Amino acid sequence: MSSIWNNRISVSIFGESHGPAIGVIIDNLPPGEYIDSEELARFMARRAPKKDGTTTSRSEKDMPQIISGMLHERTTGTPLCAFIQNTDTHSGDYSNISKLARPGHADYTGALRYKGFNDVRGGGHFSGRLTAPLCFAGAVCGQILERRGIYTGGHILSVHNIKDSAFDYVKVTREDILKVRYKDFPVINDKKGNLMKADIQKARMGCESLGGIIECVSVNVPAGIGSPIFDGLENSIAQLIFGIPAVKGLEFGAGFETAKMVGSQNNDDFYVDERGHVLTKTNNHGGILGGISSGMPITLRVAIKPTPSIAKPQETINMKDMSNEILEIKGRHDPCIVPRAVPCVESAVNIALLSHMLEYPNF
């Protein structure tokens, strides 16, 4: 099934945007791991809509109900199941477009794949709403990793044409990650963040939407984690990242910029520091070589497309009678989903890292 990711850890996501509930089952977590429920809720709240006009007005509490797999805030080793109720659905907003293929959405392709029986309300199983259970799984995995000193954090690198400062790919630390993590608007440079918010508001007022780039790093990942060819760290991270709706691009380290370099520019020189640790002077490889961690910070950037639901009239087709029509989308939609996608990207990386760390000696 496409909604199950199975690679040492199994993550199965279920539900639809406007159904009674959504949720996730996580299997093969190590037993006895303490999970702080307050910190879990705090992480989940980062994905929730904000009241500053930059996100949708749909308001869901996203308080997960633990059905199994945890007792007294410790994992039991059995499948961990979390159930999240949908309480603020406006399904009537979709009654007039159930047969129309919304541009930029999976309505047309989903109808073909599921023979017209897919739930189109709010995007159904294709909706960004399904990132809530992904964030729950990533938050759980993140707490297990952080207990071993491994921290993952992201920020908005850009919205539209406005760019934030970037992490230092060689010297980024746990403290750098935590400085950004719980900001209402996760940027390094708050002045740039204010410009981004103003641009998002401008797009919303103009019935438009914006995309952007999320930068994510993981620090203190030990060298030697991963495998070559099909089970590399990049492979696992990429699979989970592309499980986030609206992701259209992913690059590690220097990414596409390496195509402009010569070998001596791209290669990262090795050296042994004063503590006997093997490091590299630069980090164009993004902390991964041959699918295996090098011990340097793991670095990646994720491109998020503009929200496809916009209020401007758009040309489309009626899938029932195969006619051409003009579509006007109503309802509650984010003018820019980039801010809410930051914890989703972190979650995907956390799940991938923990899945590989389970093979690490004495984990």
What is the percent of the chain where pLDDT is above 90? 72
pLDDT for 234: 98
Say if 144 falls within a structural domain. yes
pLDDT for 53: 57
Say if 189 falls within a structural domain. yes
Tell whether the model's pLDDT for residue 59 goes beyond 80: no
Yes or no: say if 253 and 284 are a contact pair by the CB < 8 Å rule. yes
- pTM more than 0.85: yes
Handedness of CA 92, 83, 242, 47 (dihedral sign): positive
Mean pLDDT calculated for residue range 304-333: 86
Say if 363 falls within a structural domain. no
Say if 274 falls within a structural domain. yes
**Angle at Cα 162 formed by Cα 158 and Cα 165, nearest 5°?**
60
Of 85-89, 152-156, 300-304, 318-322, the least confident: 85-89
Per DSSP, what are the bridge partners of residue 301? Answer: 215, 251
Q: Dihedral through CA 128, CA 132, CA 136, CA 137, nearest 10?
A: -30
Range of the domain at 331: 4-357
CA separation (Å) from 346 to 70, 112, 117, 351? 22, 32, 33, 9
Q: Number of folded domains in the chain?
A: 1
CA dist 139 and 337 (Å) reads 19
SS (H, E, C) the chain: CCCEEEECEEEEEEECCCCCEEEEEEECCCCCCECCHHHHHHHHHCCCCCCCCCCCCCCCCCCCEEEECEECCEECCCCEEEEEECCCCCHHHHCCCCCECCCCCCHHHHHHHCCCCCCCHHHHHHCHHHHHHHHHHHHHHHHHHHCCCCEEEEEEEEECCEECCCCCCCCCCHHHHHHHHCCCCCCCCHHHHHHHHHHHHHHHHCCCCECEEEEEEEECCCCCCECCCCCCHHHHHHHHHCCCCCEEEEEECCHHHHHHCCHHHHCCCEEECCCCCEEECCCCCCCEECCEECCCCEEEEEEECCCCCCCCCEEEEECCCCEEEEECCCCCCCCECHHHHHHHHHHHHHHHHHHHHCCCCCC
- Model confidence band, residue 127 (pLDDT cutoffs 50, 70, 90): confident
pLDDT for 43: 96
Classify residue 263 by burial, with Cβ atoms within 10 Å: 0-12, 13-18, 19+.
exposed
CA dist 338 and 260 (Å) reads 28
Say if 163 falls within a structural domain. yes
Mean of the per-residue pLDDT values for the chain? Answer: 91
Mean pLDDT calculated for residue range 154-178: 98
CATH code (residue 150):
3.60.150.10
Say if 149 falls within a structural domain. yes
Per-residue pLDDT tens digits for 63-120: 899 999 999 999 999 999 999 988 866 555 555 667 888 888 888 888 888 888 887 7
Say if 362 falls within a structural domain. no
